[in-house]
Structure 1
Amino acid sequence: MTASQPAAAVPTAVPAPQVFAGVDIGGTTTQVVLCSAELTVLDGVEVPTPAAEGGAAMVRTALDALGLLVARSPTRPHAVGVGAAGLVDARAGRVLVASDSFRSWAGFEVTATMEAALGVPVFLDNDVNAFLLGEAATGAVAGEPHVLGMTLGTGVGGALWLDGALYEGPHGAAGETGHIPGFGDLPCTCGGRGHLETLASGRSIGARYRERTGLDRTAHAVAEAAGRGDPDALAVYGAAGTAVARAILITAGLLDVTTFVIGGGVSRAWALLEPPILAALAAEPPVSGHPLRVVPSRLGGAAVAIGAASRARTESRPAPAPRTPRASPTS
């Protein structure tokens, strides 16, 4: 290089964009997504959950599914979030209580097991909390400061979003509308009686239809029958929607929350649920006088996984550096 030649520019390395993984470990399927920093889904996969084989098999299945996505991605995930069925201890990263659908799931150390395998931070949350995080981040209630999220699936779950943040309560059970009593006297899977879950869960919709007709049908099959005008199926979904509305009114009365998002497999029959919900709300408006907004999930089956990725994004951000006091001018 001569003196007259300019020095060649040294290329600067462009940092790889951050990617976050979200995992939804459900009783039937496990869904894994890779999301951008803006929570746009870049890739995803869904596999059966080996719930009967125990916690170790369930987590191994989730890790294998994540491995498939990482193998075809140019970037490894910066952090991983997990939404898991059951009551969880998010800080300790383990499942506390699980339904009888799962074997050896209660007590399982989810985050420690996954962090040892992946070498990146892993954050655990209840699946309904993760559902609401997803809907509040990029879904049907994005930008709303106060929301109750409900999932109508095998069971009925609930979660609260207050002042723009998830509110878990002192014992991690805030918003659990599925086990509010006062909905009749039917036995609930939790051992109680007359809970919302006895009318509005997928399992209960099938049971209530069987009581009326003697026929064993899934909630999806009952919805199809209702679509054909079956009066028993219409009555079962009508009772479910009315019960959901009552839980909404209880929440509105206690917390002054006026926005509600509903997801889970049963909510796919929104055309059957919405009319009785709206009719019940119109018949008994909240004392605040403010209208209640009830919307179905926008993210659908991906809500839990996206919400889990959202938590991983938030939790893995570095803490802000302490502000250095400005030096006083010398006299």
Structure 2
Amino acid sequence: MSDRTLYAGVDIGGTTTQVVLCDDALTVLDRAETTTPAAHGGQAMIDAALGALTPLLRGTPGRLTGVGVGAAGVVDSAEGRVLVASDSFRGWAGFPVTTAVADALGVPAFLDNDVNAFLRGEASSGAVRGEPDVLGITLGTGVGGALWTDGRLFPGPHGAAGEIGHIPGFGDLPCTCGGRGHLETLASGRSLAARYAERTGRTLTAPDLADAAGSGDEDARAVFHDAAAGLARAVVMTAGLVDITTVVIGGGVSRAWHLLEPVIRQRLVEEPPVSGHPVRLVRAGLGPDAVPVGAASRARLETGRGRRVEPASTPAP
């Protein structure tokens, strides 16, 4: 098995970094997790990811062919840099991610926004494998979106295609991006907690809210209902624009699937897409592996095309 082709996938989140090692079929051979040193700068974050990956490479026979990285924020995939990052990261915006990884490992490296990587993972080996036209949604601290059209990721000319979390028209509350009334103000974990606090004066996390809703707390049920209704409306809007056939939803808030799914399905029946064709709704299947597997799939795709990113002798300034 020493000639086996291996691909690594990395998911650098604000709190945790996930690393997987995959074979050519994107089967996860091994995985690791480490704390993200987000306050210590880009090189520290890359070093932490490589530190988690190194033991996997030592323990898995094969030849590493490429590495994919999924990162939160706005990224320049072509240049392999993070353009905009949240204030929880220090020294991350502008950092040459792919150069640092390629220099360290001597193989091509590729960078994706984490939501795009999530959708790549689910489309390559997850819940929507083989689907040609998919809207991917992640529900976590924020709301992320990505588009898969004609069997491939469609990032758009500025890398923002599918970002339904920042579609306006969902009220007037301020959004984390500086706008108002975006879907994220309804359906993110942070927004669920804030809306519940406004109704009750009590502060609960999104997982605790789901538990409370399951125990009959009507205020908790109401904030999940509003989130699901907003998601359904955004799905219909997207279907009217790009005629998607399938929606896959993941992220931490999707653990409350039993609260979200019935409302989304009901609203999609009441207000179907203009095409008249129902949209297939599925829950993500890869769990925490989705982003790193999707990042690995990008590396497999690009190296399979013969495209190479040569390691630089020194990091770009």
Normalised by the length of structure 2, the TM-score is 0.94
Name the SS for the 1:132 alignment partner. helix
| Aligned residue in 2 for 1:305 | 292
Which residue of 2 is the match for residue 10 of structure 1?
none
Tell me what 1:54 maps to. 41
Of 257, 275, 287, the match for 1:270: 257
Alignment partner of 1:102 is 2:89: yes
Q: What corresponds to 1:238 in structure 2?
A: 225
Cα distance in 1, alignment partners of residues 95 and 201 from structure 2: 39
Q: Deviations over 1:20-52 (max 9, x none)?
A: 000001112110000010000000011121222
Structure 2 residue 145 is the aligned partner of structure 1 residue 158? yes
TM-superposed deviation, 1:145:
0.7
Partners in 2 of 1:94 and 1:259 — Cα distance? 30
Partner of 1:31: 18
Contact 1:96/1:106 (CA < 8 Å) preserved in 2? Answer: yes
Q: Which runs of 5+ in 2 are unaligned?
A: 308-317
Q: What is the distance in 2 between the residues matched to 1:23 and 1:136?
A: 17
Cα deviation for residue 100 of structure 1 reads 1.6
Counterpart-to-counterpart distance in 1, 2:155 and 2:174: 26
1:91 equivalent in alignment to 2:78 = yes
1:127 alignment partner in structure 2: 114
What are the Cα deviations for residues 212-252 of structure 1, in whole angstroms up to 9, with x where unaligned?
11112111111111111111110011111111101100001
Greater CA deviation, 228-237 or 100-109?
A: 100-109
SS in 2 for 1:175: coil
Q: State the Cα distance separating 1:114 from its structure 2 match.
A: 1.0
What is the Cα-based RMSD across aligned positions, in Å? 1.2
Contact 2:2/2:62 (<8 A) preserved: no
Decide which of 66, 69, 73 is 2:60's aligned counterpart: 73
Matched, 1:42 2:26: no
| Residue of 192, 202, 205 corresponding to 1:205 | 192
Give, in whole Å, the separation in 1 of the partners of 2:138 and 2:160. 14
- 1:115 is aligned to 2:102: yes
Q: Is the 8 A contact 1:34 1:77 kept in 2?
A: no
Instruction: Deviation per CA, 1:63-111: give whole Å up to 9, x if none.
Output: 1011121122222421100011111000100000111221121111100
Aligned to 1:5: none
* Cα distance between partner residues in 1 of 2:104 and 2:11: 18
Asked if the contact 2:4–2:61 (Cα under 8 Å) also holds between the matched residues in 1, the reply is: no
Cα distance in 2 for residues equivalent to 1:81 and 1:138 = 16
| One-letter code aligned to 1:122 | A
Task: Output the TM-score relative to the length of structure 1.
Answer: 0.91
Counterpart selection for 2:216 from 229, 242, 247: 229
* Paired residues, number: 307
Task: Return structure 1 stretches of 4+ with deviation > 4 angstroms.
Answer: none
Distance (whole Å) between structure 1 residues aligned to residue 189 and residue 294 of structure 2: 22
Matches of 1:111 and 1:319 in 2, distance apart? 17
Q: Report the residue type matching 1:248 in the other structure.
A: V
Structure of greater relative contact order (alpha carbons < 8 Å, 6+ residues apart): 2
Q: Percent same amino acid among aligned pairs?
A: 67
What secondary structure is seen at the aligned counterpart in 1 of 2:171?
coil
**In the alignment, does 2:286 pair up with 1:288?**
no
Which SS does the other structure have where 1:289 is aligned? coil
Q: CA deviation at 1:318?
A: 4.6
Q: Secondary structure at the match of 1:278?
A: helix
Partners of 2:124 and 2:245 in 1: CA distance = 18
1:257 matched to 2:240? The reply is no
Corresponding residue to 2:173 among 186, 205, 227: 186
Q: Which has the larger radius of gyration?
A: 1
Q: Is 87-96 or 66-75 further displaced after alignment?
A: 66-75
Question: 5+ residue gaps in structure 1?
Answer: 1-13, 321-331
What SS class does the counterpart of residue 64 from structure 2 fall into? Answer: coil
Q: CA deviation at 1:209?
A: 1.1
Residue 316 in 1 paired to residue 303 in 2? Answer: yes
Q: Distance in 1 between matches of 2:278 and 2:162?
A: 20
